[in-house]
Structure 1
Amino acid sequence: MAKDVEVTVADIARLGGVGRAAVSNWRRRHDDFPQPVGGTSVNPVFSLAEVRRWLLAHSEGKKLPEREWLWQDLRACTASDDPAELIADLGAFLVYLHRNRADWAELSAADDATVATELPRRVHAVCAEILDDPPTPHSLAKVEVPLLRRLADLADADGPATTFGFLRDRWFELHSRRTYATPEPVAKLMAELAGLAAEAVLDPACGTGALLEPFRSRPNGPPGLLLGQELDAATARLTAVHLAFGSARVKIAPGDSLRNDAFPDVLVDTVVCYPPFNDRAWGYEELAADPRWDYGLPPRMESELAWVQHALAHLKPGGTAVLVMPPAAANRRSGRRIRSQLIRRGALRAVIALPQGAVPNMAVALMLWVLRRPADARAPEHVLMVDTATRPVDFARVAADAWARFDRGEHADEPGVSTAVPVVELLDDAVDLTPARYLVPPAEDLTPERITAEGEKIATLLRATADLIPAVEALGESGNLPTVPLAELERRGMLTIHQSMSAANFSLLLSDLPFFTLEELLGEKRPDDVAPPSVLAQHVIAVEPGDVLVTQHATRLIALVVANRCVVPGPRVTLLRPDPERLDPHFLAGFVSGSTNVRHYTGTGSRLFTDIRRAEIPLLPIEEQRAYGEAFRRLTDFGRDLRHAAAMGEDLIRLISDGLTQRIVRPAGTHTNGTR
């Protein structure tokens, strides 16, 4: 008998095809709404069976999202709280549908008992063509055949790979701390640097398989071989099934690659890897005499250099490895001997600094190290250094183009971006591999005309900025107005409140969608206009003009009224959607972020608690709200332009200073006999 699983408010919203705010309204307005069966007052959980009965009774003929109901019904099929094995077996079934739909059409015509008996064997036979040592999907026999038929129907509508992606994403949400997916632009860049035509590719710390995914289909030639190792056994199996939707053969092994290498004698064309950083327990003591340390024993605190040598040990002569590395690995004193050996023997070919934010949730800008196992005794004379910090929009193209030119032996120097550094310049006492250290600043057009034009530009901006200061007058004795919390305004239907997902889930599921950055919310950068996403997951809300985005920064809240962009809110951002006929958005944003509201968020310590529903605003007539809103809007524009003018001012200071010191200009009214 299937168990009754517990569902959260977010799950109920998905099952009903609504937002979380609607579920909150149901709980307040309907006495017959199911009561929580566990969880906490902030995050309650409910009985799926009770929620099912309530939603079916109140759906009023509305078509409910089938895949969400199927997901919860599948969760109920397993006695374990972790359905990883079931999802992997269902994924194997979807691979079977992907590769042999005709066989399923024949088998599904039989009765349920025959399907339950025969299906595991047929799925195993098909998966054996792709997966090395595929386990027999025994749990399929435990799933009611009608559920499998529903899953097959969903795969017919959405495609088997997309359907498995949905199941896999739901599992990742349940276990967001166990996995991390490398952003697609970085994964594609690493594949391009390594060479997409590789016959055999290894990722020794493969996680969700994001770095192997670009290699699932070779552009030319027969299918390749994808090898991976992942510490978490459940993630390893899900990754193997995910990659099996391509044309390559796949083998993903569980275990620790450094301590228990699953492929000890295997040499491949390409290694890609995003290793764990700062791992003090990587095995320094037991692996001290390991033959992989051909370039020197990695220091105890330099686990990343152990992964570098592990990758090189698995390469064929001439093979290429691309690893994500922390910037400290480029200049830590403890690792300079190994860095020196990598350079002297021609293994390190390029260091590429990624822009800040290319890998979300990292406080520093990461690097890519491109390595090649030497094919002969002649070491290269140069190492490519690339810094894409100034090119965040097209960083992948810039890095790939620089590497392609360098690898062909062509001129790869671009001022401020890339340069080929002679090996002798790198082999000093520090052996510092930070690209910015070796780049020549781009030449500037430093002329008297440019200096004058920049000065006039900032003067014009300052005059326009001063005009933005709103005119105000004394309020008198009527300054104290009764205020109402946002929770009450939501109850009255004057606005809705939408909470964003966690940063971990955001980076896993939505990192490829455009979202508001902290710089945009702070007003330090004007938001770019982008086209709205064509398709959004049902539980994801798109930002609309007039919405108010609120986020925490240091010990204050920042609120921004959206003008003309339609994107997802971003991690840790609350979206307020006011009814513009009853609540002016600029008025709302101004009072929510005001200093008087801080008392509603601050606890006993210095931490800010962002329960936005406790924020209070006065209720004024809509025309008066709009007058306040216009003042707040002008203040927002004033602050943004003032920060922009300050940045321009710093540039102007540098321009005039360089002009004076380089004898391009002189102080006005100065008459000397000096020559330029």
Structure 2
Amino acid sequence: MDRDVQVTAADNGEPVDKDVRATATDTEDQVDRDVQVTAADIARLGDVGRAAVSNWRRRHDDFPQPVGGTATSPAFSLGEIKEWLLGHSEGRALPAREWLWQDLRAGVPEEDLADLIADLGAFLVYLDREGDDWAALSAADDAAVAAVLPERVLAACAAPMRNPPPPKCLIRGRLPLLRRVAALAAEDGAGKTFGFLRERYFELHTKRMYATPEPVARLMAELCGPSPELVLDPACGSGTLLKAVRDRTDGGVRLLLGQDADEATARLTAAHLALHAATVRVSSGDSLRQDAFSGTLVDAVVCNPPFNDRAWGYEELTADPRWEYGLPPRMEPELAWVQHALSHLRPGGTAVMLMPPAVANRRSGRRVRAQLIRRGALRAVITLPLGSIPNTAVALTLWMLRRPADSGTPGHVLMVDTSDRQEGFARVAADAWERFEAGADVDEPGVSRAVPTIDVLDDDIDLTPARYLAPPPADLSPERVTGQRDRVADLLRLVAELAPTVESSRGPKDLPMVPLAELLRRGMLTIHHQSPVRPGEPSEVPDGLTVLTAEDVVDGTSPTATTPGTAVQHEIIVRPGDVLLPNVARRPVAWVAGEGGPVLGLRLSLLRPDPALLDPHFVAGFLSGSVNLRNYTTVGSRAQVDIRRAELPLLPIEEQRLYGEAFRRLAEFQASLRRAAALGEDLIQLISDGLTHGAVRPSPEKRTKEES
């Protein structure tokens, strides 16, 4: 057997060929339609990496041809791929749960897949709670099991899921499928098995699910307090926030209530939460228009509401009694969600809402914001770090709300800004809230402050935390100013010595230029490019590695990114002596790696010259020179590099090294100038702050005799 098509052990460590092959012969679990799968799906089915799939396509004439997709992202017939994998596995174990997932996709129409996954979730709740009953029942034939199983599943789900809907797709000739699901649950556990199916479904339907990142979800759960018994999320999505509250209280929550506009998401979330030892009731529907829990009061509300939804129901909800603090403006749906949350709180209850920063200062919402402050409903605003919520271009905020237990106006509102703390922001925010709740004086410059209510109730009612925080203290001592000035002076003297010396070339010299494509053909160098990870595709790169980005090369800085936040496909490690060029830049840039280790990022070309034939600094110097501008394509104010068309002079290696040393000194000269400029900017600000804060004063300038 070819080494490339051998597959590793299945997820549970046992051969599963019998289960995998059963799908071709079980009449009750027959594949109804032939769905299309991507290369990433094939890699999962074969338990190999994406590179192996590419090798199969190149090296095996009998590998199935694409039936759809694009040239760069082809799609294949699932039936053909399964047959090919089974024919080339030679009895080796294949990952049972990946084959099960694809059989689920093929077994029902696309529009019924969510119902099937939700029904399997209910079945897994039954297995989790009534495992002994299933062990006895499963020994009977399929007809006997089918006759009683739906009622037993409903009975098992009644307590944890509070009146769950009856299964839509559970039986109907799927007993062999259920037995496969039960076998996986016996190995991995019911919760993990359903988590896998749910994750695969949401990968296929990304628009149906948005999960609040775990660090933010944990912070919101902590801010709810230690012991809420009834908790509501009126836009629960995948249930991340409700599960975080349940985990935070270690099961102390008596009931989790959730609502989501998407029915499929609501059903999947109900099963997910029920499988994590929570009593839940999750309904579908638009919470603002069709509140499933109208009149229900809870201890805590957590919510990441939809932002910028202009069709939230302004016209039909104008006279709604929930608008106790004022009619939400048509263009501010977030203030409708805030008041919806407050309407469900018992007196003294807490709501934690994730909000866009613009809600804090839009003029249209200032009347509602003023009422929230005057009546003691808004207790704190916390700015999160930019990037803590993926795919947002601004730093979002948390609003801490409380249903007032009396009619008084609180004396202070807590403002917290963690925008510059990528690490530990949750602890900073939680500690500030805890001190504020305890009545302590909170005033940490640049971080947190208990702001007098009267200071907030001005004409703008601006609730942006940074507006109310004192700047962090700075060391403005004369010793620091003098020390910084001396460092700049020393660096400038050093910079002056770094510029390389040159001599006349005795007239113009035509250097013999050769395209990089020709040098590549001769084997004098290799060229490497990175590929992005598309949604649903696995990456070959381990988590936590540093990534060199195009911005790092342009700025001449160390690697600034890491995986998996920067999703790159291949583990191309940068080595010392590699030459790196951004594919798009404002001016030609080429940079020689002095140290190895980072992974090559996107939008970069990596040239790896043979050091016996090409000097790296010589290559980088000519590629960044204006002689190669004719090989760049202008895109707006930037230049796009066609690296294979770039040209180098073909010189003897010793002469290359002479040029290379000059280019190396130029690069060091440039880097030192940048450092001097940055230090100079810091020195300017430091002296300016010292003078304006009174920490230092001007000294009389010493004048020479000539000046006198």
State the TM bucket, normalised to the shorter chain. Answer: 0.7 to 0.9
State the shift of 1:633 in Å: 9.4
Which structure would you say has the larger Rg? 2
What is the correspondence of 1:444-483 to structure 2 with a 5 Å cutoff?
444-458=474-488, 477-483=511-517
Per-residue CA deviations over 1:377-418 (Å, capped at 9, x if unaligned) read: 222100001111232221111111101100111121101110
Structure 1 residue 260, shift from structure 2 partner: 1.0
1:666 aligned residue (698, 701, 707): 698
Deviation at 1:232, TM superposition (A): 1.2
Q: Counterpart in 1 of 2:100?
A: 70
- Paired with 2:415 and 2:581, the residues of 1 have a C-alpha distance of 40
Query: What SS class does the counterpart of residue 370 from structure 2 fall into?
Result: helix
State the Cα deviation string for residues 342-377 of structure 1 (Å, max 9, x = none).
111000100111121111111111111101010112
Secondary structure at the counterpart of residue 374 of structure 1: coil
The partner residue of 2:533 within 477, 494, 501 is 501
Name the CA distance, whole Å, in 2 between partners of 1:399 and 1:466: 48
Distance 1:644 1:63 in 2: 57
Q: Which runs of 5+ in 1 are unaligned?
A: 672-676
- Where does residue 649 of structure 1 map in the other structure? 680
Quote the residue 2:44 is aligned against.
Answer: 14
Say which SS state the counterpart of residue 130 (structure 1) adopts: helix
> 1:417 aligns to what?
447
Kept after mapping to 2: 8 A contact 1:601/1:608: no
SS at match of 1:129: helix
1:293 to 312, 323, 327: 323
Which range moves more in the overlay, 32-41 or 338-347? 32-41
Pairing of 1:114-129 with structure 2 (within 5 A): 114-129=144-159
* Distance change (3 Å), C-alpha of 1:151 and 1:312: same
Structure 2: state its 5+ residue gaps. 1-29, 704-708
Secondary structure at the aligned position of 1:212 is classed as: helix
Q: 1:63 to 1:103 in 2, by over 3 A?
A: same
Distance 1:563 1:237, change over 3 A: farther
Q: Given the superposition, is the C-alpha separation of residues 451 and 344 from structure 1 closer, same or farther in structure 2, using an over 3 Å criterion?
A: same
1:125-166 Cα distance to aligned partner (Å, 9 max, x none):
222221122123342314644443333333344333222222
Secondary structure of residue in 2 paired with 1:322: strand
Q: Provide the rounded CA distance (Å) in 1 between the counterparts of 2:266 and 2:39.
A: 30
Equivalent residue in structure 2 for 1:406, among 428, 431, 436 = 436
Give 1:621-636 correspondences, 5 Å limit. none
Farther off after superposition, 546-555 or 436-445: 546-555
CA contact (8 A) 1:352 1:387 kept: yes
Identity value in percent: 57
**Cα distance between partner residues in 2 of 1:573 and 1:563:** 20
Quote the residue 1:97 is aligned against. Answer: 127
CA offsets 1:611-641 (integer angstroms, 9 cap, x no match) = x9997788999x99x9899999999888777
Quote the residue 2:275 is aligned against: 245
Q: 1:414-563 to 2 correspondence within 5 Å?
A: 414-458=444-488, 477-483=511-517, 499-502=531-534, 516=547, 523=555, 526-527=558-559, 546=575
Aligned to 1:331: 361
**Cα distance in 2, alignment partners of residues 577 and 64 from structure 1:** 39
- 1:551, 1:320 → 2: CA distance? 50
Structure-2 separation of matches of 1:584 and 1:143 = 68
Q: How does 1:143-542 map to 2 (within 5 A)?
A: 144-217=174-247, 219=249, 222-458=252-488, 477-483=511-517, 499-502=531-534, 516=547, 523=555, 526-527=558-559
Q: Distance in 2 between matches of 1:557 and 1:452?
A: 38
> What does the per-residue CA deviation read over 1:291-342, in whole Å, with 9 as the maximum and x for residues that have no partner?
0000000111111111111111110000011111111111111111111111
* Maintained 8 Å contact 1:597/1:615: no
Q: 1:185 to 1:403 in 2, by over 3 A?
A: same
* C-alpha contact (below 8 Å) 2:531/2:569 kept by paired residues: no
Counterpart residue type for residue 197 of structure 2: L
Kindly indicate whether the alpha-carbon contact (under 8 Å) linking 2:342 and 2:401 is maintained by their aligned counterparts in 1: yes
Distance 1:35 1:524, change over 3 A: same
Q: Structure 2 vs 1, CA of residues 236 and 363 (structure 1 numbering), >3 Å: closer, same or farther?
A: same
Following superposition, the deviation at residue 484 of structure 1 comes to 7.2
Q: CA deviation digits over 1:570-628, x for unaligned, max 9?
A: 9x77898989999999899979x97999999979x869999x9997788999x99x989
Please give the secondary structure, in 2, of the residue aligned with 1:378: coil
Deviation of 1:498 (Å): 5.8
AA aligned to 1:348 is: L
Per the alignment, in what secondary structure is the counterpart of residue 189 of structure 1? helix
- 3-state SS of paired residue (2:161): coil
| CA distance, structure 1, for counterparts of residue 92 and residue 522 of structure 2 | 28
Further displaced range: 366-375 or 48-57: 48-57
78, 95, 105: which one pairs with 1:48? 78
- Which one is further off, 38-47 or 268-277? 38-47
Please state how far the C-alpha of 1:235 moved relative to its aligned partner.
1.2
Match of 1:674 in 2: none
Cα distance in 2 between the residues matched to 1:511 and 1:403: 37
Q: Deviations over 1:222-265 (max 9, x none)?
A: 44211111111111111111111222211111111111111111
Query: 1:35 matched to which residue of 2?
Result: 65
Structure 1 counterpart of 2:223, which letter? L
Deviation at 1:81, TM superposition (A): 5.2
Q: TM-score, normalised by structure 1?
A: 0.82
Going from structure 1 to structure 2, the CA distance change for 1:226 and 1:392 (only over 3 Å counts) comes to: same
Q: Per the alignment, in what secondary structure is the counterpart of residue 368 of structure 1?
A: strand
SS of equivalent residue, structure 2 residue 58: helix
Offset of residue 422 of structure 1? 0.4
Distance of 2:494 and 2:356 partners within structure 1: 43
Alpha-carbon distance in structure 2 between the residues aligned to 1:649 and 1:554:
26
Q: 2-side partners of 1:609 and 1:105: how far apart?
A: 68
Number of residue pairs the alignment of both structures matches: 657
**Counterpart residue identity of residue 160, structure 2:** I
Does the C-alpha gap of structure 1 residues 443 and 506 become closer, same or farther in structure 2, counting only changes over 3 Å? farther
* Cα distance between partner residues in 1 of 2:44 and 2:637: 32
Q: Residue 483 of structure 1: SS of its match in structure 2? A: helix
- Structure 1 residue 555, shift from structure 2 partner: 7.7
Task: Tell me the distance in 2 between the aligned counterparts of 1:216 and 1:588.
Answer: 61
CA distance in 2, matches of 1:105, 1:632: 75
| 8 Å CA contact retained: 1:181, 1:208 | yes
Displacement of 1:549 in angstroms is: 10
Deviation at 1:464, TM superposition (A): 7.4
SS at match of 1:271: strand
- Which residue of the partner structure matches residue 84 of structure 1? 114
Deviation at 1:6, TM superposition (A): 0.9
Change (3 A) 1:60 1:30: same
RMSD: 4.7
Deviates more, 1:350-359 or 1:165-174: 165-174
Q: How far did residue 208 of structure 1 move?
A: 1.5
Give, in whole Å, the separation in 1 of the partners of 2:636 and 2:689. 44
Amino acid at match of 1:499: S
- What code does the residue aligned with 2:135 have? A
Question: Secondary structure of 2:127's partner?
Answer: helix
Query: Aligned in 2, Cα 1:161/1:659: closer, same or farther, shift over 3 Å?
Result: same
